[in-house]
């Protein structure tokens, strides 16, 4: 039976992936997260061991490493699924704290986990899978700078790590999901309304942007498609370097336009 450490396991999509791995009967999963109730639920699944672990804490990750060592001396995979999103201005509110938090979880969380658990991956001749986002390759949107910044940084980290670990025959795979109907995505609505209620500069613009944001978030991509991609990245003998799934059509269309044209479109929305 293969072994995997799966961070972000207590999130909506993370839980689905852990359950799918459990159902295959081929994987023993160390499901890492911070939500104790969900960890308990995951621990009731066959071949799933819950690991309470905060990826922003070195001590917590080291404790997780010690727990895993009690069960196995190798890993076939690390799946970095822990992540946060945000909707906020970069000149109002708590933008500094939000940016620091997203970098701490989305980027440094993966860096920390991969560093601490690398000895087990190396011992198991395993692979590392980093879950990024469509924000890692798409052109940035307004009021999403911390998220785009963190995911772009994660993409760069992933690609550099892949080229480093090629020397050790350890595959590093990147997954770039779009928007799925999860608690993480739904939290953007609350964040949007908070910014709208408290903004000094952007009330008119945000009111006009809201229908576009809702259109994009309301696209119901099937979470099962992401689960299939994760399983493929884990089990393929020759995994792709990069998997994209659930990309928003409207955002994808923007990618074919020059930056100047995209700026004009945003101005049209703001001034209509």
Q: How confident is the model at residue 214 (pLDDT cuts 50, 70, 90)?
A: confident
The answer to whether residue 22 sits within a structural domain is yes
The answer to whether residue 43 sits within a structural domain is yes
The answer to whether residue 12 sits within a structural domain is yes
Check residues 211 and 181 and name the one with the higher pLDDT.
Answer: 211
Q: 3-class secondary structure for the chain?
A: CEEEEECCCCCHHHHHHHHHHHHHCCEEEEEEECCHHHHHHHHCCCCEEEEECCCCCHHHHHHHHHHHHCCCCCCCEEEECCCCCCCCCCCCCCHHHHHHHHHHHHHHHHHHHHHHHHHHHHHCCCEEEEECCHHHCCCCCCCCHHHHHHHHHHHHHHHHHHHHHHHHCCCEEEEEECCCCCHHHHHHHHHHHHHHHHCCCCHHHHHHHHHHHHHHHCCCCCHHHHHHHHHHHHHCCCCCCEEEECCCHHHHHHCCCCHHHHHHHHHHHHHC
CA gap 51, 57 in Å, rounded: 14
- Using alpha carbons only, how large is the chain's radius of gyration in Å? 19
CA gap 22, 36 in Å, rounded: 19
* pLDDT computed for residue 44 by the predictor: 97
* pLDDT computed for residue 220 by the predictor: 66
Residues 6+ apart with CB under 8 A from 202: 89, 92, 143, 195, 196
The answer to whether residue 271 sits within a structural domain is no
The answer to whether residue 42 sits within a structural domain is yes
The answer to whether residue 26 sits within a structural domain is yes
The answer to whether residue 260 sits within a structural domain is no
Which CATH number characterizes residue 71's domain? 3.40.50.720
CB 152 within 8 A of CB 133: no
Structural domains in the chain (count): 1
The answer, yes or no, to whether residue 29 has pLDDT greater than 90, is yes
* pLDDT computed for residue 254 by the predictor: 78
Q: Is the pTM of this model over 0.95?
A: no
Q: 3-class secondary structure for 73-122?
A: CCCCEEEECCCCCCCCCCCCCCHHHHHHHHHHHHHHHHHHHHHHHHHHHH
Overall average pLDDT of the 22-28 stretch: 97
What is the average pLDDT score of the chain?
92
234-267, pLDDT tens digit by residue? 999 999 999 999 887 777 777 888 989 989 988 8
| Domain range for 230 | 2-181+221-248
* pLDDT computed for residue 211 by the predictor: 81
The answer to whether residue 128 sits within a structural domain is yes
* pLDDT computed for residue 184 by the predictor: 64
* pLDDT computed for residue 182 by the predictor: 65
64-116, pLDDT tens digit by residue? 999 999 999 999 999 999 999 999 999 999 999 999 999 999 999 999 999 99
* pLDDT computed for residue 185 by the predictor: 66
CB 50 within 8 A of CB 40: yes
Q: How confident is the model at residue 27 (pLDDT cuts 50, 70, 90)?
A: very high
Where on the phi/psi map is residue 154: left (φ > 0), alpha (ψ -120 to 50), or beta? alpha
Overall average pLDDT of the 116-125 stretch: 98
Bridging pattern class, strands 172-177 and 242-245: parallel
What's the token pair of residue 132? 């990024």
């Amino acid at each position: 039976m293969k072994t995997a450490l799966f961070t972000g396991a207590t999130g909506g999509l993370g839980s689905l992936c852990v359950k799918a791995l459990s159902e295959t009967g081929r994987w023993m999963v160390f499901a890492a997260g911070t939500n104790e109730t969900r960890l308990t639920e995951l621990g009731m699944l066959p071949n799933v061991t819950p690991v309470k672990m905060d990826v922003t804490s070195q001590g917590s990750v080291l404790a997780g490493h010690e727990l895993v060592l009690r069960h196995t001396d190798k890993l076939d995979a690390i799946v970095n699924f822990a992540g946060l999103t945000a909707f906020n201005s970069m000149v109002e509110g708590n933008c500094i704290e939000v940016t620091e938090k997203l970098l701490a979880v989305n980027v440094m969380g993966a860096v920390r986990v991969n560093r601490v658990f690398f000895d087990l991956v190396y011992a198991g001749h395993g692979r590392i899978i980093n879950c990024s986002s469509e924000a890692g390759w798409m052109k940035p949107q307004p009021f999403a700078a911390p998220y785009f910044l963190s995911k772009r940084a994660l993409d760069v980290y992933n690609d550099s790590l892949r080229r480093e670990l090629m020397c050790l025959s350890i595959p590093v795979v990147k997954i770039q999901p779009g928007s799925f109907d999860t608690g993480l995505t739904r939290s953007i609505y609350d964040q949007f309304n908070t910014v709208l209620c408290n903004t000094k500069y952007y009330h008119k613009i945000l009111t006009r942007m809201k229908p576009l944001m809702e259109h994009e978030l309301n696209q119901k991509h099937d979470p099962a498609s992401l689960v299939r991609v994760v399983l493929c990245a884990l089990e393929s003998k020759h995994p792709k370097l990069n998997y994209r799934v659930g990309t928003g059509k409207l955002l994808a269309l923007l990618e074919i336009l020059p930056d100047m044209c995209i700026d004009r479109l945003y101005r049209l929305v703001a001034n209509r």
